[in-house]
Amino acid sequence: MRPPVLAACDLRKSYGSVTALDGVSLDLHPGDSLAIVGESGSGKSTLLRCLAWLEQPGGGYVRFEGAPVMELDTTGRREFRRRVQLMLQDAAQALNPRWRALALVREPLDLLRPDLDATARETLARRCMERVALPDWAADRLPGEFSGGQRQRILLARAIVLDPSVLLLDEPFAGLDPPVQGELLALLRHLRAERQMATAFVTHDPGLAAAVADKIAVFGRGRIVEHGPTAGLLAQPVHPTTRLLVACHKARLFGGGSP
């Protein structure tokens, strides 16, 4: 088996008296598609931020291609930043409202690809915007002028413009209409196949997880309580947290109530 591209090993993190991560370990191999499912407030977002090294874990390691991220030198850290991308929750917040779309998509290149000249960066950014199916007129608009789905596409373009090996997504489709969700899911699947990216995404919705992921890790109270291949795990949940999640999901799907 190939070595994991990104691995977490016994991650711990607490804020004051609240424990967000309580010994989390997981491996992400090239081409993997992992869904991390759990209730809100169970520490999923913290896990992703620690994996992307936006927050330092209180204990444990994050390994990138075998090397602990903590010990990477400046060059190594830049390489890590380029190849591991985190797409944040809530596109309205994650895009600076004063910047135009093209500048937003170019920002990662400006920061991490100083080897390219300005024209090359702009061409690359435009190509990425095209790839995520943003219309031509999008380049000069401000984030406030886009719909939620389009903002999500801008975020996605920002994430793939650096051609990463790992894409971490935090509740990527929260608050979007089902048809828009469907389009974005399809786009994500294409991108993953085309670029051989490993993806890990966090959601509270087991249905969504089933739609994209090959593997599922169920998250509860700061630890992974159950994990395995998607189909099997959702069909025969063992842990109470998983059962509850699956039951809620079914009730929503078939109970006729609106989500």
Partner 1 sequence: MSRRAISRPVLLLVVWHAALAAGAWLAPHPGNRQYREYPFAPPTRIRLLDANRGLAWPHVCALEPEPARFGAYREDCARRFPVRFLASRPGGGIALMQAVAPGSLFLLGTDELGRDVFSRLLLGGVLSLGCGLSAACLALALAAWLGSLAGLLGGLADAVISRGAEVLMALPILYLLLAMRAALPIQSPPLTGFLMAVCLIALAGWARPARLVRGIVLSARERGYVLAARGFGAGSFYLLRKHLLPELRGVLHAQAAVLIPRFVILEVTLSLLGLGVPEPASSWGSMLANLRQYDVLATHPWMLAPAAALTLSLALFGHAGRWLEVEVQEKA
Where does 126-186 show beta strands of DSSP type E?
Answer: 166-170
Q: Which of 33, 42, 46, 89 binds partner 1 (CB under 8 A)?
A: 89
By CB under 8 A, which span of 20-28, 30-38, 58-66, 94-102 interacts with partner 1? Answer: 94-102
Q: Which of 22, 27, 39, 107 binds partner 1 (CB under 8 A)?
A: 107
201 near 230, Cβ under 8 Å? no
By CB under 8 A, which span of 26-34, 56-64, 88-96, 129-137 interacts with partner 1? Answer: 88-96
- Bridge-based pairing state of the strands 59-64 and 18-28: unpaired
Is 215 near partner 1 (CB under 8 A)? no
Token pair in block for residue 23: 């010994």
Instruction: Determine the Cα–Cα distance for residues 187 and 183; give it in Å rounded to an integer.
Output: 6
Is 98 near partner 1 (CB under 8 A)? yes
- C-alpha pair distances (Å), 27 with each of 4, 51, 166, 227: 6, 11, 12, 12
**Residue 92 CB, nearest approach to partner 1 (Å):** 8
* Residues in 57-86 at the binding interface with partner 1, rule: CB under 8 A: 77-78, 81-82, 85-86
Is 52 near partner 1 (CB under 8 A)? yes
**Residue 96 CB, nearest approach to partner 1 (Å):** 4
**Residue 112 CB, nearest approach to partner 1 (Å):** 6
**Position of tokens 């509850």?**
244
Is 112 near partner 1 (CB under 8 A)? yes
Where does 127-222 show beta strands of DSSP type E?
Answer: 166-170, 198-203, 215-220
Binding mask 145-174 for partner 1 (x = CB under 8 A): -------------x---x------------
- What residues are paired with 18 via a beta bridge? 15
Q: Nearer to partner 1 by C-beta: 34 or 84? A: 84
> 11: which residues sit within 8 A by CB, 6+ positions away?
21, 23, 24, 25, 47, 50, 57, 59, 60, 61, 62
- C-alpha pair distances (Å), 221 with each of 18, 24, 225: 10, 11, 9
Q: Which of 90, 131, 148, 189 binds partner 1 (CB under 8 A)?
A: 90
Is 94 near partner 1 (CB under 8 A)? yes
Binding region for partner 1 (CB under 8 A) = 52, 54, 77-78, 81-82, 85-86, 88-90, 93-96, 98, 107-108, 111-112, 158, 162
